[in-house]
Amino acid sequence: MTKSWRLQTPAPPEFARSVELPKVAAQVLYNRGIATPEEARAFLEGPPEPFHNPSLLPQMAAAVERLAQAIGSGETIGVFGDFDADGVTATAILAQGLGALGGHVTPYIPHRITEGHGLNVEAVQALRHSGVSLIVTVDCGVTSHQEVEFAADLGLDVIITDHHTPSVTLPPALATIDPKVPGSDYPFTELTGAGLAIKLIQGLYRHLNKAWPRNLLALAAIGTVADLGPLQGENRAIVTAGLQQLQHTGNAGLNALYRQAKLSPRDIDSGAISFIIAPRLNAAGRLQHAISSYRLLTCDTAGEANALAETLEDFNRERQRNTEAACEKALEMADPAEPIILLAHEDFDPGISGLVASRMVEAFHKPAVVMSLDGGLVRASARSVPAFNVIAAFEQCRPLFQRFGGHSMAAGFVMSRANLEELRAKLTSIARKTLGDRLPAPTLQIDAEARPMDLMGETYKSLAALEPFGYGNPKPVFLAPHMKLQEAKRVGGEGQHLRLKLWDGRASWTAFAFRQGVRQLPENGLMDLAYSLSINSWRGQRVIELRVEDFRPSK
């Protein structure tokens, strides 16, 4: 779909002078809501102590006292995680942090399809039968009232760590650590599951007067970026420190994953987490079971690490093939005239339906629900646009679902296939009332007008200081008018990408336009380019390339 370009309002001239930065870098800061030299300094340098006191989190004291007691008495602690990269890294953080103190840990990660997200009664029973007397949840649990009550009936204590919004009442756990619970005074509410796992480890080690293992920040950085935690405040501190750990990690599994992905440690940034590391960790849970990813992150030997990394690489390749095939079928099935894209088919794998839904949103700029039909069941993943709150829409369909959950932009459900047509009619009606006849075109926010050569030297160094980039601190996008197209080639297995050679008036640049291979290039060879900067390692050299966000023929 054609995008609307919006060039950000220029910063006041005195702002760039006051922050002592090149004009373009100052403009990017200004676009992020930073308007004073003091705010700029705090963003660039960070606070003297980047991590808040963990004891400020609700019920942290009760949690660390119980954990210390369990470790001291030799109890077995069950750590119940989730099957995505945030949940797996959070589980590994707690297992390694508790294990280093002598704790006996049994990890449990549910199966995406047969168990679904969140604590379940069968898992509680399994943990109890394995000798667990204390369960710690990570990245889930804050709405698991029935399951926590069931654990209590079995004589198990439960500590909940979760970053999702709680319901009106909390489950009857021994402690619930969630910065979003009512009455919380914690200064930062946007920690992910991995971030909260780090806070619990910090709190426990502090309680025991021990230095906490900062190497675990590597895993917290992966979870934070993968789960789209806004890279502001404490998340920014976690990811900044974690990226340094990832570039020099001694973790056998991560190093094996780097080798399989042909990823140089020095090239690891938030983009590498998003597009290389996290997809491989997620692939196991999408196709089989996420316990393989957990084992990779916690294994000790090179042999085991290499075997697991190879397995995840195979899973990721299969996931890519399955996703492309499913997206091709979905594009054939989609009706662009409808206000919401509703697709159901036996060939849609529930492990990748969220990826397919995301691609449909990208293609049509409309909310999309991709449903996997399995006998009498429908398992679905939905992705949305800012104008449509998908979980609020699902709430109106609650009687049709066996279970559902999520948030405004991403959600899912399980229901009987007998309800499919009623759901189609209801969601279409809700979308039509909410969105009207026509959605506005997606908007590409452009930070500043600048040709690539304008961004080199001191300007490049200043832009690099704004990293890590990601959700909440997006990678800067620039506008370069009248770029001359020197060469163009369609690349990728299906020619789905474009590799371009462009001249900006002073130098030639290699540029990649991902999933834009079908687009028509300007006949006169001149284009206005919306792009970001990217680093590529080639033959031992680090080369700056352009990532094409969009382009238009120059007028």
CA atoms within 13 A on the CB side of 236: 21
Chosen domain end from 418, 435, 452: 435
Range of the domain at 507: 443-553
DSSP 72-132: HHT-EEEEE--SSHHHHHHHHHHHHHHHTTT-EEEEE---TTTT-SS--HHHHHHHHHTTE
Residue 195 in any domain: the answer is: yes
Note the pLDDT of residue 48: 78
Indicate if the pLDDT at residue 533 is higher than 80. yes
Indicate if the pLDDT at residue 376 is higher than 90. yes
Indicate if the pLDDT at residue 539 is higher than 70. no
400-442 per-position pLDDT tens digit: 999 888 888 899 999 999 999 999 999 999 999 999 866 667 8
Task: Tell me which residue has tokens 């957990």.
Answer: 294
User: What secondary structure letter does DSSP report for 473?
Assistant: B
Do 188 and 214 fall within a single domain?
yes
Q: Give CA–CA dist 58/436, Å, rounded.
A: 43
Do 425 and 454 fall within a single domain?
no
Do 423 and 525 fall within a single domain?
no
Chosen domain end from 435, 465, 498: 435
**Percent of the chain surpassing pLDDT 70:** 98
Token pair for 517: 């291979």
Which residues lie closer than 8 Å to 407 by C-beta, 6 or more apart?
164, 165, 391
Helices (H) and strands (E) in the chain, counts: 19, 18
Residue 406 in any domain: the answer is: yes
Q: How far is CA 29 from the centre of its chain?
A: 23
Residue 323 in any domain: the answer is: no
E strand or H helix at 485, and its extent?
strand 478-491
Note the pLDDT of residue 61: 98
Residue 468 in any domain: the answer is: yes
* pLDDT band with cut points at 50, 70 and 90 for residue 121: very high
Write the CATH number for 89.
3.90.1640.30
Indicate if the pLDDT at residue 494 is higher than 90. no
Do 407 and 467 fall within a single domain?
no
Note the pLDDT of residue 230: 93
Residue 23 in any domain: the answer is: no
Average pLDDT, the chain: 94
Residue 34 in any domain: the answer is: no
Do 297 and 341 fall within a single domain?
no
Note the pLDDT of residue 442: 83
Taking residue 205's Cβ as centre, other Cβ atoms within 10 Å add up to 18
User: What secondary structure letter does DSSP report for 470?
Assistant: B
Q: How far is CA 551 from the centre of its chain?
A: 27
Rounded mean pLDDT of 217-245? 96
Rounded mean pLDDT of 11-37? 93
Backbone angles phi, psi at 261, to 5 degrees: -85, 0
- Could you give the number of structural domains in the chain? 3
Residue 329 in any domain: the answer is: no
Do 172 and 276 fall within a single domain?
yes
Do 208 and 68 fall within a single domain?
yes
Give the bridge partners for 480, in sequence order: 529
Residue 26 in any domain: the answer is: no
Give the bridge partners for 2, in sequence order: none
* pLDDT band with cut points at 50, 70 and 90 for residue 131: very high
Q: Give CA–CA dist 183/168, Å, rounded.
A: 12
Indicate if the pLDDT at residue 540 is higher than 80. no
11-22 per-position pLDDT tens digit: 998 898 899 899
Do 477 and 519 fall within a single domain?
yes
Indicate the burial class of 352 (C-beta count within 10 angstroms; 0-12, 13-18, 19 or more): buried
Q: Give CA–CA dist 480/555, Å, rounded.
A: 13
Chosen domain end from 414, 435, 456: 435
293-336 per-position pLDDT tens digit: 999 999 999 999 999 999 999 999 999 999 999 999 999 999 99
Is the bond into 476 cis (omega within 30 degrees of 0)? Answer: no
Strands, sheet with 104-108, edge to edge from the N-terminal-most edge strand: 104-108, 76-80, 132-138, 157-161, 175-177
Token pair for 507: 């130098």
Do 354 and 305 fall within a single domain?
no
- Coil, helix or strand at residue 160: strand
E strand or H helix at 201, and its extent?
helix 193-207
Write the CATH number for 348.
3.10.310.30
- Given a contact cutoff of 8 angstroms between Cβ atoms, the answer to whether 159 and 175 are in contact is yes
Do 542 and 488 fall within a single domain?
yes
Do 354 and 486 fall within a single domain?
no
Indicate if the pLDDT at residue 83 is higher than 90. yes
Q: For residue 153, give the amino acid letter.
A: D
Do 224 and 241 fall within a single domain?
yes
Taking residue 453's Cβ as centre, other Cβ atoms within 10 Å add up to 14
